[in-house]
């Protein structure tokens, strides 16, 4: 995970706040961003995975800049929500579940290959997202 150490240290406090106000069955994913900047890493992947495991969170490392695992983070979260609905953990008919049926039911099917948008030539400018 490429985050500042103080951000990682604050995770337990932020997670406690989130759990205080969110549904008890909310699907929460810990995302380590900027995985493409390994030399600047302040938190190891193992630390991130351990924190996620100890706190019942999903975990993934991403790079917004390089478009690594962005779609996968959303898909894994959606798949976990769907799984919890199928297991009866989340009730789409209960207003406090945090999940509502839309105008049409969607089928979640894994893609055979991740869709990746073609990258434009970005060598002339340094793009920053955060």
Q: Is the pLDDT of residue 121 over 70?
A: no
What pLDDT score was predicted for residue 100?
75
Q: Is the pLDDT of residue 38 over 90?
A: no
Name the residue with higher pLDDT: 5 or 109. Answer: 5
Name the residue with higher pLDDT: 6 or 110. Answer: 6
DSSP helix/strand/coil, 78: helix
**Using CA atoms, how far apart are residues 46 and 95, in angstroms rounded to an integer?**
37
What are the residue ranges of helices labelled H in the chain?
Answer: 5-21, 45-54, 70-86
What pLDDT score was predicted for residue 122?
46
The answer as to CATH 3.40.50.300 being correct for domain 5-92 is: yes
- Give the single-character DSSP code of 117: P
pLDDT in tens, 64-82: 888 889 999 999 999 999 9
pTM: 0.70
pLDDT in tens, 40-61: 788 889 999 999 999 999 999 9
């Amino acid at each position: 995970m490429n985050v500042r150490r103080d951000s990682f240290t604050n995770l337990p406090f932020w997670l406690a706040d989130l759990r205080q106000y969110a549904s008890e069955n909310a699907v929460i994913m810990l995302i380590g961003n900027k995985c493409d900047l390994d030399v600047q890493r302040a938190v190891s992947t193992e630390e991130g995975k351990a924190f996620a495991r100890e706190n019942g969170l999903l975990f993934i490392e991403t790079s917004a800049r390089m478009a690594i695992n962005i779609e996968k983070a959303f898909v894994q979260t959606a798949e976990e929500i769907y799984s919890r609905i199928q297991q009866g953990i989340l009730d789409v008919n209960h207003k406090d579940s945090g999940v509502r049926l839309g105008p049409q039911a969607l089928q979640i099917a894994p893609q055979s290959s991740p869709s990746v948008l073609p990258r434009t030539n970005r060598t002339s400018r340094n793009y920053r997202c955060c």
